[in-house]
Structure 1
Amino acid sequence: MPEESGLARRAARRYSSGMTEDTDAILAKLPARLREARRAQGLSLDAVAKLSGVSRSMVSQIERGESSPTIATLWNLTRALQVDFAGLLEEGPARQIEVLRSGDVPTIEQRGSGCTIRILSPPEEAGRHEVYELRLSAGGVLDSLPHARGAREHLSVIEGEVEVTSGSGSDRLGPGDTARYAADVAHRIAALSPARAFLVVQDA
């Protein structure tokens, strides 16, 4: 802990020094950079709040530029987001690529039968444009109730063979095939053999 405290003090001094030099410029950087750091980690506002001990509403206000964090609050946030305290305030090239490593992809194991769902889209896209990787064992099924009116799904099969059902229609897909269908009715994806596919869900 002494080493961490020393880092905090050094960062705080740097932060305080910068604040006296150009407060407006530094404060203008914080919202976007904190938001970028959170998205790069694939974290929701709720997740950051739990990890940092900073309330969800405060995290949201800081990201929107409606509140200026104290040094302690900023330190807690950067620790939770695993980013450098001082570097967050420095000039540098904008992040061009956000990477979510394979082992860090959120995964749902218990949805459906014989189906593992890996969530590839960022949390803020939930309910609008969602991207998933599906891994199904032979006979695995993903049954879905109707989504919002006008919602559609795009399923691209990478490996194996699946049967897609939307309402009263159904069809079989093999590797390289893509199906686009209504998702505002009951729909199902059933694996006829071990399969892997990418699913895009778009709400109207």
Structure 2
Amino acid sequence: MRQFHLTSLRHIGDVSGMTDASNSILTQLPARLKEARRAQGLSLDAVAKLSGVSRSMVSQIERGESSPTIATLWNLTRALQVDFAGLLDGASEAMRIEVLRASDVPTIDNLGTGCRIRILSPPEEAGRHEVYELVIAEGGQLDSQPHARGAREHLTVIEGALEVMSGDQRQALQAGDTARYAADVPHRIAAQGDVRAFLVVQDA
């Protein structure tokens, strides 16, 4: 854990006294503290015992109803085993805009017939929440085997027309239409003309 001198804490004082430039960090603290607690699998009572901060105060801080002092934050971060400075710095990091340029988007050309798949979701979301752009030539199709039990797909047609099949069900879609369907059965997307669509795959 990064060391933070107590003399610095005394000079900083209360988080609620931060400058306007740091207000955005303050608004991120409740969610970040709650996330850290859940990541450790700790209850509010457990955090209270480990940190010496009352359960009601921990709950109020997580709900954004109370602005913690630096001393309180210090005790909470030690109990949650997270870096104090990183907790504050990380909020501004989370607000940065991550850009993936068109030329860098991973693309798959060897699945389906006449189908190009661009992977828009980050790698760490694979198997949970995946986002794709589909570009399918006229007469092309994408056949998929069943995903995990309970998985669903959300397909939105941007350009063109297609037919989507899920199990023994099928629907025709036009530009602007969205279909939501089971993906834990064999399913197919078949283009009727050139198609561009966005596909979201969600596992249960």
Which position in structure 1 is the counterpart of 2:3? 24
Which position in structure 2 is the counterpart of 1:153? 153
Kindly provide the CA deviation profile for residues 29-61 of structure 1, in whole angstroms up to 9, marking residues without a partner as x.
Answer: xxxxxxxxxxxxxxxxxxxxxxxxxxxxxxxxx
- Separation in structure 2 between the aligned mates of residue 23 and residue 152 of structure 1, nearest angstrom: 43
- Separation in structure 2 between the aligned mates of residue 142 and residue 101 of structure 1, nearest angstrom: 25
Structure 1 stretches lacking a partner, 5+ long: 1-21, 26-64, 66-90
**Pair 1:149–1:23, CA change in 2 (3 A):** closer
Matches within 5 A, 1:13-52: 24=3
Matched, 1:125 2:125: yes
Kindly provide the CA deviation profile for residues 169-198 of structure 1, in whole angstroms up to 9, marking residues without a partner as x.
Answer: 001001100000000000000000100000
Matched, 1:94 2:109: no
Question: What displacement does 1:135 show?
Answer: 0.2
Structure 2 stretches lacking a partner, 5+ long: 5-80, 82-88
Q: What's the Cα RMSD here?
A: 2.2
Runs of 4+ in 1 over 2 A off after TM superposition: 22-25, 91-96
SS state at 1:100 partner: coil
Question: What displacement does 1:145 show?
Answer: 0.2
Letter in 1 for 2:199: L
TM-score, length basis structure 1 = 0.56
Tell me the percent identity.
67
- Separation in structure 1 between the aligned mates of residue 134 and residue 195 of structure 2, nearest angstrom: 8
**Count of equivalent residues:** 121
Matched, 1:103 2:82: no
Matches within 5 A, 1:52-67: none
- Separation in structure 1 between the aligned mates of residue 101 and residue 195 of structure 2, nearest angstrom: 22
Which position in structure 2 is the counterpart of 1:177? 177
- Separation in structure 1 between the aligned mates of residue 94 and residue 130 of structure 2, nearest angstrom: 22
- Separation in structure 1 between the aligned mates of residue 201 and residue 2 of structure 2, nearest angstrom: 43
Letter in 2 for 1:177: D
SS state at 1:94 partner: helix
SS state at 2:127 partner: coil
Kindly provide the CA deviation profile for residues 137-176 of structure 1, in whole angstroms up to 9, marking residues without a partner as x.
Answer: 0001000000000000000000000000000000100110
